Amino acid sequence: MQKNKIFLLTFVFVFTNWINAAVYDYFPRKLEATSSNYGITGILNMPNARLMTEGSMKIGFSSSFPHEYTYISATPFQWLEASYKYTELKNLLYGPSSYSGNQSLKDKGFDLKIRLLRESYYLPDISIGWNDLAGTGKFSAEYITATKNIRDVDFTLGLGWGSLGKDKNINNPFKEFDQDFKNRETEFGEGGSFNYKSWFSGDKIALYSGLEYYWWKYGIILKLEYDTSNPDITYGGQPALDVDSRFNFGLIRPINENFTIGLSFERGNEFRFSFDIKSDYGQKPLVKKNDPPKNVIKLNKQQQKTLKGNNEIFYRSLNRGLREENILIQSADLSDSELKITIAQNRFRNYPRAIGRTARIASALTGEEVNKFIITPMNGDSEVYSVEFRKKDFDLVEQNRIGVKELYQKTKIYSSEPERYKENEFQPSVKFPEVFFDMSPSLRHQIGGPESFYLGQLWWKINTKIKFNRGLSLHSTLGLSIYDTFDEFANPSFSKIPKVRSDIQEYLSEGKNNIARLKLDYIWSPYKDIFVRVDVGYLEEMFGGVGGEIYYRPFESNFSSSIQIHKVKQRNFDQRFGFRDYEVNTGHVSLYYDFPRGIQSQLLLGKYLAGDVGATIDLSRRFNNGFTLGVFATKTDLSSKEFGEGSFDKGFYFSIPTDSFFTNFRQGDISFGLHPLTKDGGAILNHLNSLYSIYGDTNLKSVNRDWRSIND
Amino acid sequence: MTKSYSVNLIRTLIILFTLNSCSNLDVSSPSSSVFNLLLKNFSETGVVIGKETIESIPYASSLISFGGNAKSLIILESIMEDTNTWISSDKVRLIENNGRIIRTMGMPNDLYYIERPDLDFDFLLTKESLSYIAYYSFREPVLNNLKVEINSEVIGLETINILGKKRQLILIEESLYGPMINWSAKNKYWIDPITKYVWKSKQYLSPRLPHVQIEVTKKPAS
């Protein structure tokens, strides 16, 4: 009887869970793990073991007294979450009032969390994390935490070190392995270096816990935690705070799929308000695409007969058809059995999609005697590769009779010989010079300075490109100031090395109306897989000069490399036509490698703008739709002292494909990059048209990645 | 007879296909689906569906719209006792019984079955208000027997204009509440006071779908 009861209870429990699994799809709001107060996924002040969905990015804000956080978090991999945050410490001044007025102290920090074990039926999510990694140490902490969901409740248990372990309720278990873990460094410096010797150290640490109840019915998450950060104990130069309770609680309400607000009560005496905007850009666009191929009607036999032997009409028809898709013929050649087309376009990020749309139109216009298509896309006036398939196979894909994978197997894809397109019969006439022009409002700013947290300029940016011939173009960017707050700058650079970047305040305040760029470049491909650029002029806002780049991209390899050298001179602060005295020869050997799963790496070795010599490592994750998240770090022969605060140059960037926000396809990205500090060490030229940016994503791997779009 | 019916049906579907194409919904594209019909704001700036169009189609027809978006035409595919099956150009089928949609097929989320007391509008019109329980089942994804509390209330006469024809119809409102998932919705039915025929309705079929509005433009032959 007892056995039956246990069986029945087990059955009911399991079965109820199964029923509930379906119910979750019908609740009014999707509930998922949310941010801690400071960005990384967590309960409130304490982190849990959860991470955002892979490819997600979130911008958020939470405010209370004395800590106010503004953060950006991202999940480049399903096992890694990173967050960059500004913390305003409202109870501390930035510096003496003569230096920074009444501005409160701002602390920059970088948090990282790695999932060690993914939650399963019996086992919890387990993660390890670092708060304020390479920061000033005011909030430095490490943790190992486990979170398990049991019937709509996420239970979290964790071990906290550093600022999360001030409760000191248990001994540090790592002492058993090495006595070095017993002592934790309590000196707090300028930040910027990885103080790894302090990680997971301290005689005593804290065991913390918390729970989050997913109240699906009402679309709310209730949170409760035992806070072991004990702000009533001074830490990192911060004054002690009144603590009436070690329990914090709060509630989170997703307003919609992207926007979440929260309210919590912490330390028993302060409220906190928070909100964040999140999207999983890597997995799906914000707006669903509705940009199908144009309908084409195949020519009937009579029409085909008329076209046959009259290539001129055929080319014009093809040209017109492709223009409907914003694809421009660069050349074409129709013989008895094959059609060669070279195309250029700036609508599709993904070349196979452009190739597919070209083939669709070509197929409709050609008769049965044409059985092979050779389509060559161009970028930057150079052929990037050629794709050769049977017309019949493409038609079968269109008719859903074979899959795109089968077409891929039957397709020859190879690197193009340069300027082969000139051998084709049809060469549309192009009238040079071509002028391209666009303008838009833009922002320039400095964030986190001592004078004010944000100083900025609304700037009218006018971009012009005059193309004199294939590959030869003059690029200009002019800026007109609309409104700015740059007059408040009061923090000149005292750098001991050539001030190649740290005079940023002078460049911004004196160059409000400026010629940000005025350069002539010539790009061509002298040999297969080799691309060359030479450029001269005002290359960027701070430097002008002359130089060039050679890029080698073996088509079938995931590896590519480049060499670039420039002789440059520093521009005047007003960014008109004059130069300052400083000049330097700068250049790098760059090695690029594409790892699986969209991981792209770059290693730059060479001489930087300040004359320092060293290396830059750049790692990024590119999702299939083009959303990219990346980090970089540069270490040169400058000592930490010479470099100054931050110890070495580092930063992160992301770019969101513009067409994520539109129903139709278009090229372009909305990019954002951040150096926490503008320093002179490890500085490189800000290039327009680096060859890697033009040709880096045109190797066989990229074709393979995007091939599914051939029929889209 | 069957062959003639099929030929006519195919011909009519081609007409619907053409109408929808003109109303900015490219049904010929691979990405086209009912999802577009539901979620995309296709405008009414194309062909205006008028009386002539309705008369030219030899079948019963209705105008349908999802979530207040543009209207599209559906036609009656079959009748089986009291149950009518309506079909759209996207091959979405709505199965209706006495004005109520009781099942859908081909939607991104389908209403599979409603278990409810046998209360027709003839009876409901005699009650000022009436409460009862129904159980909804869905597919894509599956959810069976979701309890829904329903309160039906007779509101009164309203003038309804369908393609220029005005009718005085009685409005009945049904308030739905699914306590398990906190789902609230309100269905509306406009009913002929004499024949008890539902000429117009606004119905919530699932918590995951916007409401569907149906206006009968040509009533099935009784």
Minimal-distance CA residue of chain A relative to B30: A292
Peptide bond between residue A418 and the one before it cis (omega within 30 degrees of 0)? no
The alpha carbon of residue B23 is apart from the nearest alpha carbon of chain A, in Å, by 15
Give the DSSP H or E segment for A159.
strand A153-162
Q: Which residues of B touch A27 (CB under 8 A)?
A: 181-182, 207
* Whether the Cβ atoms of residue A186 and residue A168 lie closer than 8 Å to each other: no
Select from A28, A289, A290 the Cβ nearest to the Cβ of B181.
A28
Unique residue bearing structure tokens 């699906």: A216
B207 at A interface, C-beta within 8 A: yes
Q: What integer pLDDT is reported at residue A661 of this predicted model?
A: 86
Select from A28, A219, A292 the Cβ nearest to the Cβ of B30.
A292
The alpha carbon of residue A364 is apart from the nearest alpha carbon of chain B, in Å, by 16
Tens digit of each residue's pLDDT (9 = 90 or more) over B7-24: 454 554 444 443 433 332
Select from A22, A25, A295 the Cβ nearest to the Cβ of B28.
A295
Q: Which residues of B touch A664 (CB under 8 A)?
A: none
Tens digit of each residue's pLDDT (9 = 90 or more) over A216-231: 999 999 999 999 998 8
Of B134, B199, B204, B145, the residue nearest B167 (C-alpha): B199
Beta bridge partners of A343: A329, A377
Do B28 and A217 lie within an 8 Å CB cutoff?
no
| C-alpha torsion angle, residues A684, A689, A692, A698 (rounded to 10) | 170
Residue A16 has pLDDT above 50, yes or no: no
Minimal-distance CA residue of chain B relative to A21: B143
Buried b (16+ CB within 10 A) or exposed e, A387-419: bbbebebbbbbbeeebebeebbebbebebbebe
Minimal-distance CA residue of chain A relative to B180: A217
Select from B30, B180, B206 the Cβ nearest to the Cβ of A23.
B180
Q: Which residues of B touch A216 (CB under 8 A)?
A: 181
Q: Report how far apart, in Å, the C-alpha atoms of A47 and of each of A57, A138, A160 are.
A: 18, 17, 9
- Chain A residues with CB under 8 Å of a chain B CB are 19, 22-23, 25-28, 216-219, 288-290, 292-293, 295, 712
Q: What would the two tokens of residue A210 be?
A: 């918390």
Tens digit of each residue's pLDDT (9 = 90 or more) over A148-181: 999 899 999 999 999 999 899 999 999 888 888 8
Unique residue bearing structure tokens 């804290």: A206
Q: Could you give the CA distance from residue A320 to residue A361 in angstroms, rounded to a whole number?
A: 10
Residue A316 has pLDDT above 60, yes or no: yes
Tens digit of each residue's pLDDT (9 = 90 or more) over A667-686: 888 888 887 778 899 999 99
Q: Could you give the CA distance from residue B101 to residue B95 in angstroms, rounded to a whole number?
A: 6
Of A580, A677, A697, A691, the residue nearest A634 (C-alpha): A677
Peptide bond between residue A66 and the one before it cis (omega within 30 degrees of 0)? yes
**Angle formed by the axes of helices A351-365 and A391-398, nearest 10°:** 100
Q: Could you give the CA distance from residue A171 to residue A159 in angstroms, rounded to a whole number?
A: 10
B159 at A interface, C-beta within 8 A: no
Select from B138, B141, B181 the Cβ nearest to the Cβ of A217.
B181
Q: Which residues of B touch A295 (CB under 8 A)?
A: 26, 28-29
* Whether the Cβ atoms of residue A135 and residue A111 lie closer than 8 Å to each other: no
Q: Which residues of A touch B181 (CB under 8 A)?
A: 23, 26-28, 216-217
Q: Could you give the CA distance from residue B168 to residue B43 in angstroms, rounded to a whole number?
A: 29
Of A665, A567, A572, A651, the residue nearest A611 (C-alpha): A567
Phi, psi (rounded to 5 degrees) for A531: -125, 145
Residue A519 burial class via C-beta count within 10 angstroms: exposed 0-12, middle 13-18, buried 19 and up: buried
Cα distance between the two ends of chain B = 19
Select from B32, B40, B182 the Cβ nearest to the Cβ of A28.
B182
Residue A346 has pLDDT above 70, yes or no: yes
Do A217 and B180 lie within an 8 Å CB cutoff?
yes
Residue B112: CATH number of its domain? 2.40.360.10
User: Once rounded to an integer, what is the mean pLDDT over residues B94-118?
Assistant: 93
Q: What is the 3-state secondary structure (H, E, C) of chain B?
A: CHHHHHHHHHHHHHHHHHHHHHCCCCCCCCCCCHHHHHHCCCCCCCCCCCHHHHHHCCCCEEEEEECCCCCEEEEEEEEECCEEEEECCCCCEEEEECCEEEEEECCCCEEEEEECCCCCHHHHCCCCEEEEEEEEEEECCCEEEEEEEEEEEEEEEEEEEECCEEEEEEEEEEEEEECCCCEEEEEEEEECCCCCCEEEEEECCCCCCCCEEEEEEECCCC
User: Once rounded to an integer, what is the mean pLDDT over residues B205-217?
Assistant: 93
SS3 at position A709: helix
Q: What integer pLDDT is reported at residue A186 of this predicted model?
A: 63
The Cα diameter of chain A in Å comes to: 95
The alpha carbon of residue A98 is apart from the nearest alpha carbon of chain B, in Å, by 58
All residues at 6 or more sequence positions from A315 whose CB lies less than 8 Å from its CB, including other chains: A329, A332, A334, A425, A426
Do B181 and A22 lie within an 8 Å CB cutoff?
no
B112 at A interface, C-beta within 8 A: no
Q: What integer pLDDT is reported at residue B48 of this predicted model?
A: 61
Q: Which residues of A touch B207 (CB under 8 A)?
A: 26-28
Tens digit of each residue's pLDDT (9 = 90 or more) over A326-339: 999 999 999 989 99
Q: What integer pLDDT is reported at residue A178 of this predicted model?
A: 86
Of A247, A253, A88, A224, the residue nearest A156 (C-alpha): A224
Beta bridge partners of A149: A154
Number of domains in chain B: 1
> Residues of chain A with pLDDT > 70: what percent?
95
Tens digit of each residue's pLDDT (9 = 90 or more) over A37-54: 999 999 999 999 999 999
Q: What integer pLDDT is reported at residue A303 of this predicted model?
A: 79
Phi, psi (rounded to 5 degrees) for A297: -110, 125
The alpha carbon of residue A293 is apart from the nearest alpha carbon of chain B, in Å, by 8
The alpha carbon of residue B125 is apart from the nearest alpha carbon of chain A, in Å, by 32
Q: Could you give the CA distance from residue A273 to residue A37 in angstroms, rounded to a whole number?
A: 9
B110 at A interface, C-beta within 8 A: no
B155 at A interface, C-beta within 8 A: no
What is the pLDDT confidence band of residue B44, given thresholds at 50, 70 and 90? Answer: very low
* Whether the Cβ atoms of residue A662 and residue A651 lie closer than 8 Å to each other: no
SS3 at position A703: helix
Tens digit of each residue's pLDDT (9 = 90 or more) over B82-103: 899 999 887 889 999 999 999 9
Q: What would the two tokens of residue A514 be?
A: 């400026």
B176 at A interface, C-beta within 8 A: no
The HSE-up count of residue A394 (CA atoms within 13 Å, CB side) is 30
Do B207 and A26 lie within an 8 Å CB cutoff?
yes
User: Once rounded to an integer, what is the mean pLDDT over residues B56-75?
Assistant: 87
Q: What would the two tokens of residue B45 be?
A: 């700036």
Do A295 and B26 lie within an 8 Å CB cutoff?
yes
Do B26 and A216 lie within an 8 Å CB cutoff?
no
Q: How many CB pairs under 8 A join A and B?
A: 48
| DSSP class per residue in A532-581 | EEEEEEE-SSSEEEEEEEEEE--TT-SEEEEEEEEEEEEEPTT-SS-EEE
Select from A27, A289, A290 the Cβ nearest to the Cβ of B181.
A27
Q: Could you give the CA distance from residue A96 to residue A63 in angstroms, rounded to a whole number?
A: 24
Residue B122 has pLDDT above 60, yes or no: yes
Q: Domains in chain A, please, with CATH?
A: 2-279 (2.40.160.40), 301-430 (3.30.300), 434-701 (no CATH)
SS3 at position A17: helix
Q: Could you give the CA distance from residue B220 to residue A174 in angstroms, rounded to a whole number?
A: 79
Do A26 and B26 lie within an 8 Å CB cutoff?
no
Residue A216 burial class via C-beta count within 10 angstroms: exposed 0-12, middle 13-18, buried 19 and up: buried
Buried b (16+ CB within 10 A) or exposed e, B189-209: bbbeeeebbbbbbbbbbbbbb
Tens digit of each residue's pLDDT (9 = 90 or more) over A418-452: 999 999 999 998 889 999 999 999 988 888 777 78
Do B144 and A288 lie within an 8 Å CB cutoff?
no
Q: What would the two tokens of residue A621 be?
A: 């994750």
Unique residue bearing structure tokens 């073991």: A49
Residue B202 has pLDDT above 90, yes or no: yes
Q: What integer pLDDT is reported at residue A18 of this predicted model?
A: 43
Q: Could you give the CA distance from residue A589 to residue A606 in angstroms, rounded to a whole number?
A: 6
Do A216 and B142 lie within an 8 Å CB cutoff?
no
The more confident residue out of A455 and A607 is: A607
B18 at A interface, C-beta within 8 A: no
Tens digit of each residue's pLDDT (9 = 90 or more) over A247-306: 999 999 999 888 999 999 999 999 999 999 998 888 777 788 888 888 888 888 777 777
Phi, psi (rounded to 5 degrees) for A699: -85, 180
Minimal-distance CA residue of chain A relative to B21: A295
ipTM above 0.90, yes or no: no
- Mutate: best of A218, A290, A663, partner B, most B CBs <10 A: A290
Per the structure, the complete domain to which residue B129 belongs is given by: 2-218
Select from A22, A25, A217 the Cβ nearest to the Cβ of B182.
A217
Do B208 and A22 lie within an 8 Å CB cutoff?
no
Q: Could you give the CA distance from residue A618 to residue A588 in angstroms, rounded to a whole number?
A: 14
* Whether the Cβ atoms of residue A701 and residue A558 lie closer than 8 Å to each other: yes
Q: What would the two tokens of residue A157 be?
A: 């248990």
User: Once rounded to an integer, what is the mean pLDDT over residues A679-702?
Assistant: 94
What is the pLDDT confidence band of residue A191, given thresholds at 50, 70 and 90? Answer: low
* Whether the Cβ atoms of residue A337 and residue A370 lie closer than 8 Å to each other: yes
Residue B135 has pLDDT above 80, yes or no: yes
What is the pLDDT confidence band of residue A192, given thresholds at 50, 70 and 90? Answer: low
User: Once rounded to an integer, what is the mean pLDDT over residues A183-194?
Assistant: 64
Tens digit of each residue's pLDDT (9 = 90 or more) over B177-201: 999 999 999 999 999 999 999 999 9
User: Once rounded to an integer, what is the mean pLDDT over residues A537-552?
Assistant: 97
